Amino acid sequence: MKLLLDKAHIEGIRYYDTWIRNGGYQSVEKALKMTPDEIVEEVKKSGLRGRGGAGFPTGMKWSFLAKPEGVPRHLVCNADESEPGTFKDRYLMEFLPHLFIEGMIISSYALGSNLSYIYIRGEYAWIPDILEQAIAEAKANGWLGKNIKGTGYDLEIYVQRGGGAYICGEETALIESLEGKRGNPRIKPPFPAIQGLWMRPTVVNNVETIATVSPIIMMGGEAYGQMGVGRSTGTKLISACGNINKPGVYEIGFDLSVEEFIYSDEYCGGIPNGKRLKACIPGGSSVPIVPASLLLKTAKGETRLMNYESLADGGFETGTMLGSGGFIVLDEDQCVVRHTMSLARFYNHESCGQCSPCREGTGWMYKILKRIEYGQGEMKDIDLLWDIQRRIEGNTICPLGDAAAWPVAAAIRHFRDEFEWHITHPEEAQTRNYGLAHYADPVHVPTV
């Protein structure tokens, strides 16, 4: 059952007139007849978990919002979708903007926010125009502005373009950037729910989370909560890419198996040229890579499902995370060392530099991986990599350090033999990579 993409096929659905003819803004109309507390309670009943990566219960997060008298509160939407392999929020904003705006209105009303913001990734250069058009259409028809539909509730929504920094996907760095400062994460506590935007109580949710509030209000929290498996309720958008026949955005139920998602014609359509599955990164670049042997079944021999609990089964030894839903498939010809090096380069480039373990450690990991990838590594480099990632994880202000460490740890844990092959076959490693027969010596890597 599709809750978010059920109208995506309708021609012109991104425009207000088409949207309203197909049942648009009914959820807002219903929500405005409820009290803010009743809406929060419905979201709690739904079991909706944040769709940005962490999977924290949304209703619980909303209930943490401080409500001091006379102090403005804010809703900030994190549309800074910078996680490699993730593009589902882009799809929602580009093709179903009014669904997203509905969610913004309902969520803002529930939280008592009269001024809400959408902080969008700088590289999504064309999407702010789409969102601003949808906001203008909603305002022209009385869904935004002063005294919305005679309820006495006022709301303005503004779109803020980011500068293209991955670190601004972290909620406090996003808030800093929104305030016009360098996007460095804040030390917590205080949490944004107490002191967020301009030191006022603030809730930060991502696009998919906010868009999901609209169908929850329409069908009711209990009905939504009955969909799915266990604490993985409702549906989830997945950005599928890599070595598959049908890359794209899919809305899935949490009872779907990983194997069916990859191989069925309804979803990814299998792997091109009859290649075998080697591994998968199921939740965006920051989550642990998992080999096919553990991905299609759990450590207990059970079928692994596309939900939070099943993918995490076994912890980081055999499991991973659903994360942001960026599903990256690797076939048997892919080089794990090369992919890990590419990710390490990304995280090194995107580190804000505030914490020395991340600032220095991500650079060291990239240099060592580059050395191994191009046939210039030594066996001791593998253990050195392991030691560096271990010293980064859990020792930084924000989770970017963890996001940089986990892919390296999982790659070594599951594919150590591939790292060793690069070291024991240096000439083959040099010639097979990008067709280069030689690569300049990497910069010296300090001993950790």
Tens digits of per-residue pLDDT, 332-380?
999 999 999 999 999 999 999 999 999 999 999 999 999 999 889 999 9
Residue 236, H or E segment: strand 235-242
Q: How confident is the model at residue 433 (pLDDT cuts 50, 70, 90)?
A: low
Do 82 and 202 belong together in one domain? yes
* CA–CA distance, 265 with 148 (Å, rounded to integer): 45
pLDDT tens-digit readout, 376-415: 999 999 999 999 999 999 999 998 899 999 999 999 999 9
Q: Does residue 43 share a domain with residue 154?
A: yes
Tell me whether residue 8 is in a domain. Answer: no
Half-sphere exposure at residue 28, Cβ-oriented, CA atoms within 13 angstroms: 27
Please state the pTM of the whole predicted model. Answer: 0.92
CA-wise closest residue to 318 among 292, 353, 343, 285: 292
Segment 35-51 mean pLDDT: 96
Full residue range of the structural domain in which residue 121 is found: 16-226
**Domain final residue, candidates 183, 198, 226:** 226
User: Tens of pLDDT along 132-146?
Assistant: 999 999 999 999 999
Is the pLDDT at 92 greater than 50, yes or no? yes
Q: Which two tokens stand for residue 165?
A: 């920094």
Q: Specify whether 216 is located in the same domain as 67.
A: yes
Same domain, 46 and 167: yes
User: Which among 331, 363, 381 is the end of a domain?
Assistant: 331
289 and 413 in a common domain: no
Residue predicted with more confidence, 62 or 434: 62
pLDDT tier at 446 (50, 70, 90 boundaries)? very low
Give residue 1's pLDDT: 79
Look at residue 54 in the predicted model and tell me its pLDDT: 79
Sign of CA dihedral 60, 65, 68, 72: negative
Q: Give the pLDDT band of residue 302 (cuts 50, 70, 90).
A: confident
Closest CA to 438 of 427, 423, 425, 422: 427
Is 440 part of a structural domain of the chain? no
Count of domains observed in the chain: 3
Average pLDDT value for residue range 274-300: 90
Indicate the SS3 state at residue 42. Answer: helix
The one-letter amino acid at 255 = D
Compute the mean pLDDT over every residue in the chain, rounded to the nearest whole number: 92
Which pLDDT tens digit goes with each residue over 220-270?
999 999 999 999 999 999 999 999 999 999 999 999 999 999 999 999 999
Q: Is residue 1 part of a domain?
A: no
- What whole-number distance in Å separates Cα of residue 431 and Cα of residue 437? 5
360 and 428: one domain? yes
Percentage helix, strand, coil for the chain under 3-state DSSP, each rounded to 5? 45, 15, 40
CATH number, domain with residue 281: 3.10.20.600
Task: Give 269: exposed, middle or buried? Use CB within 10 Å, 0-12, 13-18, 19+.
Answer: middle
8 Å CB contact between 282 and 323:
yes
Evaluated on CA atoms 434, 437, 440, 443, the torsion sign reads positive
